[in-house]
Structure 1
């Protein structure tokens, strides 16, 4: 068993191509209309990484499991929202998922804070994200980390027989 004083309970690191299968499985296992607007993934599954969602755009949280091994427990995407030169000061959270077995351990907050730090280190001064209006846990997490609602598209999506708002949130990355 690893020494808990020398090995953290979880850590966040940049993704590598070898993470693709584990992150794809995690993405499918956590799929829910609470946060997803795409239909439930069906085989054959698309690759997790693509030209538009590359390993360098993703942070992975690893958590120590019951056997003491570190394994992927969550991820978040961090991208420049558009290819426009006038938009390079902004980073956008694009997806955040945490495995069911790892919830309640601070993994989502650690991913979010790592994304904020990574964006700052890249010279960004603003962070944005989009979240479904009925996703109260995610909205509360984002608000607790300084994000504010900057816009709402009412009834933008029709999920599970009801219209759901698309909520835009943002915050400054200034210290």
Structure 2
């Protein structure tokens, strides 16, 4: 199957249960040790949505293409813990953009939509974790106002080398 021809981004929307197949395919297609610490998914594939990964936790970016509307990317936004003392924080726990949609501002659009959604949920702060060797993602997050707030050196062993886990965050009240 050939890649869709990108025409324009559509407004970001919450994921719906019927997005599960497309999101699962996108998740598998974008898997890489550049950002994933889990092994490559193999058949039989686990459902994209489950008790811990609910549709309402995801924002979806769609693009108008020559074939209609296609999911161009997603972002998972959740409370980092169930603790009341941590309820003012939301955490990005996944961001993926289809190869054919890269370079069109999809990730930045999803990030900015996540700030609005986190504020709507009452959050004043947003955090994420990114692998130290993922320079493109770290540069994007820094350009969006995220600062490095912690570092877990050699936290993961991927492709024969130790990789840092970088903790980043930003205020939503600025």
Q: TM-score, normalised by structure 1?
A: 0.93
Counterpart residue number, 1:34:
34
Mapping of 1:73-92 within 5 angstroms? 73-92=72-91
Paired residues of 1:15 and 1:60 also in contact (CA < 8 A): yes
3-state secondary structure, aligned to 1:81: coil
Return the offset for 1:122.
Answer: 1.0
Deviation for aligned residue 1:9: 2.9
- What residue is the counterpart of 1:3 in the other structure? none
Correspondence 1:94 to 2:93 = yes
In 1, distance between residues paired with 2:169 and 2:151?
12
Do the aligned partners of 1:10 and 1:107 also contact (CA within 8 Å) in 2? no
Aligned partners of 2:21, 2:160: CA distance in 1, in Å?
32
CA distance in 1 between partners of 2:71 and 2:158 (Å): 29
Query: RMSD over aligned Cα, in angstroms?
Result: 1.1
Distance 1:37 1:23 in 2: 19
Question: Which residue of structure 1 lines up, in the alignment, with residue 25 of structure 2?
Answer: 25
In structure 2, runs of 5+ residues without a counterpart are 1-6
4+ residue stretches of structure 1 with deviation over 6 A? none
Q: Which residue of 2 aligns with 1:4?
A: none
Contact 1:147 1:171 in 2 (8 A): yes
Q: CA deviation at 1:77?
A: 0.2
| Cα distance between partner residues in 2 of 1:63 and 1:8 | 5
Give the structure-2-normalised TM-score.
Answer: 0.94
SS of alignment partner, residue 11 of structure 1: coil
Q: CA deviation at 1:71?
A: 1.0
Q: Give the CA deviation at 1:8.
A: 5.2
Give the Å deviation of 1:146.
0.4
* 1:113 counterpart = 2:112: yes
Deviations 1:76-122 (A, max 9, x none): 00000101111110000010000001100000000000001100111
The residue that corresponds to 2:169 in the other structure is: 170
Between the aligned partners of 2:108 and 2:161, the Cα distance in structure 1 is 29
- Give the SS at the match of 2:12: strand
